[in-house]
Amino acid sequence: MRCGVTQDSYSTVRSMTLVLPSGATIDTAAPDAEERFAEVEPELACGLIQIRDQIRADEPLAERIRRKFRIKNTMGYRLVAFLDAETPLEIFRRLVVGSEGTLAFIAEAVFDTVPLLPHTTTTWVHFPDLHATVEPVPDLVAAGATAVEMMVAPALIAASDSIPGTPEYWRELPPESAALLIEYRSDDPADLDGMEQQALDALAGRATLRAPEFTRDEELTEVYWRTREGLHGIVGGMRPQGTALIIEDVCVPPERIAESATDIQGLLGKHGFLPDVAGHTSAGNLHFMLTPNFAQAEDRDRYEAFMSDLVDLVVDKYDGSLKAEHGTGINMAPTSSASGEPRPRSSCGESSSWRIRMACWHRVSSSTAIPKHTFATSSRRRRSRRWRTPASNAASASRCARAGC
Amino acid sequence: MGPAPEWIAAGTPQPLRSDLKSLLGADRVLTRALDLIRYASDASPYRLFPKAVVQARNAGDVANVLRYGREHGVPVTLRSAGTSLNGQGQSDGILVDVRRHFTGVEVEEVAPRRVLAREPRSDVRTGCCSLSASASAPIRRARTSRPLGASSRTTPAGCGAA
């Protein structure tokens, strides 16, 4: 996603109709919504205010929560809701965004729209290696780019086989090279010349493999984005038979993107995974794929060892998010638990935030059947017991990322 | 994980099977082994077998299932239109599929423009993917919060996957 933290669902949703775990339904836009919420869920409303006051009374914790959600972060509940809103229902409807069905069902939602800025100019810029690729990202963002995405050459080379209309020269890219997809958008087509110049200025003096070639052609732009969005399917199609396809999704403060991309590439190599990193680099958000074979004990250990190192790197070194946009799920629930871990990991990296998350969940679920297994389990073993081991990957299924295929 | 558990062969166990059918109508409840296996996987590397699958048609159906789950101690999980890359949409209790009947987008024509997600009228409802929400907007100068760069399989609402 390119919406960052200012144009995401949390920031643009205005109201919702919520089905609460008790079965009661509330439209948050109704004039008497707060009163009704307090009436049908008195303990929940009261509990939310207690948690709000507890967070606000602890300034270091409040500041830490603010900082953790200044970058993309979908680990656990979005605790900054307790700082962004005052009343129980306004806090609750914010917490529901990203709660993965553990707090309520959103039956209806009303979103504000944001300007489309329909005129675009877009280019790929190729660099000799990953570090050189990611280094200019902060400068490009400062120079007004609306998107700066990164892909490594092996993925582009694979895309040149599977996606019609990709540039011919991609087939000849050095495998260790990587590229940025840079996009500028405006309301006024007359702005685009100046924007391209700003990008060229930001790239001046850097070692690029080819001179940037901006395009304003809609069809070619579409091919570029189809390539970027098709990464999951491209890697899925290339992976060995019988392996799982896991996409990771970490986020660091955007100014540290170059350093972190190099660290993650090193970690992937150390554990024998493909060192291919991609991402929404302007937001500090990096993706990479893991293709372990869970039928083999050695691969299960390799995966867990990698994940353990990854958690240390992202949380301890960068104070980042373990999931920027893909949610918590079974995958990340164990790493955010307080029990069985030497250092509790959570959306705040502290046990206090874990306690807040569980307090929220208990307020909602004490009298309900909303499950916590996908969101707040304390057992890492529960995750490993749930792995499936595909016997074979049919070509069509390997590229499929739709739930329930 | 090994093969499917043996109980799956008989489909949804009783009394859950008849309880849900009388609560919601037989056409909204999937109970065959085939259904439970089909809904056990998503885009994640995990697999959980639901005891039953409900295809909810409206908020009332969801409310009824949540009440039932609370009364009988059965976990209820929602599956909306997201990819569920991390196993968010998996359940070993009742899995409520809100993708099939919660689709559609409606764009307000008054300023400030808003995209609506209302049930049972036609708008961004929970099963709706963000790209179709953006694409169907009959206006050119506005988009929803999950614009072009979002995967066509992400969801703007539902159980709030992100």
Give the DSSP letter string of A137-174: HHHHHHTT-SEEEEEEHHHHHHHHHHSTT--GGGGG--
| pLDDT tens digits for range A344-358 | 333 334 455 556 666
Supply the ipTM of this predicted assembly: 0.79
User: How is residue A80 written in tokens?
Assistant: 């900054």
The runs of H, that is alpha helices, within A280-350 are: 297-311, 329-332
Instruction: Report residue A182: phi and psi, to 5°.
Output: -110, 130
Strands, sheet with B114-117, edge to edge from the N-terminal-most edge strand: A25-27, A13-19, A105-112, B114-117, B106-107
Interval A58-113: pLDDT, tens: 998 888 889 889 998 888 788 899 999 999 999 999 999 888 788 889 888 888 88
Which residue ranges of chain A lie beneath pLDDT 50?
A: 337-350, 366-382, 389-405
Say if residue B10 is in the same domain as residue B65. yes
Residues in A touching B110 (Cβ below 8 Å): none
**Listed residues B52, B76, B97: the one ending a domain:** B97
Q: What is the pLDDT of residue B108?
A: 74
Torsion sign over Cα A245, A250, A254, A259: negative
pLDDT digits (tens, 9 = 90+) for A126-161: 999 988 999 999 999 999 999 999 998 988 998 998
* Spatial separation of the C-alpha atoms in residues B64 and A41, rounded to whole Å: 17
Pull the structure tokens for residue A295.
Answer: 């039928």
Cα–Cα distance measured from residue A191 to residue B140, given in angstroms and rounded to the nearest whole number = 19
Asked whether the beta carbons of B45 and A387 are under 8 A apart, the reply is yes
Residue B117 and residue B79 share a domain: no
Closest residue on chain B to A324 (Cα): B162
Between A16, A114, A371, which is nearest B77 by CB? A371
Query: Quick check: is B82 in a domain?
Result: yes
Same domain, B80 and B18: yes
pLDDT score of B111 more than 90? no
**What's the pLDDT at B101?**
81
Strand partners, A112: B114
Q: Could you tell me what percent of chain B has a pLDDT over 70?
A: 64
Helix (H, G, I), strand (E, B) or coil at A277: strand
Q: What is the pLDDT of residue B119?
A: 53
Q: Which of B97, B114, B136 is the last residue of a domain?
A: B97
CB-CB under 8 Å, B98 with A105: yes
CATH number corresponding to A240-398: 3.30.70.2740
Residue of A nearest to B93 (CA): A371
For residue B112, say if its preceding peptide bond is cis, omega within 30 degrees of 0. Answer: yes
Last residue of a domain, one of B97, B125, B143: B97
In angstroms, the CA A89 to CA B59 distance is 19
Residue B162 lies in a domain: no
Matching CATH topology for A119-231 and A240-398? yes
Residue B158: band (very low, low, confident or very high) from pLDDT cuts 50, 70, 90? very low
Query: B92 and B106: one domain?
Result: no
Quick check: A2 contacting B, CB < 8 Å? yes
Report the domain count for chain B.
2
Which pLDDT does position A179 carry in this prediction? 96
Same domain as B92, residue B108: no
A147 touches chain B (CB under 8 A): yes
* pLDDT at residue B157, rounded to an integer: 38
- Residue B33 and residue B73 share a domain: yes
- Please report the pLDDT score of residue A193 as a whole number: 95
List Cβ neighbours of A217 (8 Å cut-off, separation of 6 or more): none
pLDDT beyond 50 at B58: yes
Can you give the pLDDT at residue A4?
A: 75
Distance from CA of B157 to the nearest CA of A (A): 6
Same domain, residue pair B71 and B90? yes
| Residues 6 or more apart whose Cβ sits within 8 Å of residue A203 | A125, A136, A140, A212
Helix intervals (H) in chain B: 16-24, 33-38, 59-72, 130-135
Interface with chain B: mutation pick from A15, A40, A374, highest number of B CBs within 10 Å: A374
Which residue on chain A is closest to B88 by alpha carbon?
Answer: A329
Are residues B132 and B151 located together in one domain of the fold?
yes
Altogether, the residues listed in chain A come to a count of 405
Query: What is the extent of the structural domain holding B142?
Result: 102-156
For residues B60 and B135, state if they share a domain: no
3-class DSSP assignment, residue A376: coil
Q: Domain limits of chain A?
A: 9-111, 119-231, 240-398
Q: Which CATH number fits domain A119-231: 2.60.120.10, 3.40.50.12160, 3.20.20.70, 3.30.70.2190?
A: 3.30.70.2190
Same domain, B133 and B86: no
Tell me if B161 is assigned to some domain. Answer: no
CA distance linking residue A133 with residue A206, whole number of Å: 9
For A127, the enclosing helix (H) or strand (E) is strand A119-127
Chain A residues touching B84 at Cβ < 8 A: 329, 403
Contact A405 B41 (CB under 8 A): yes
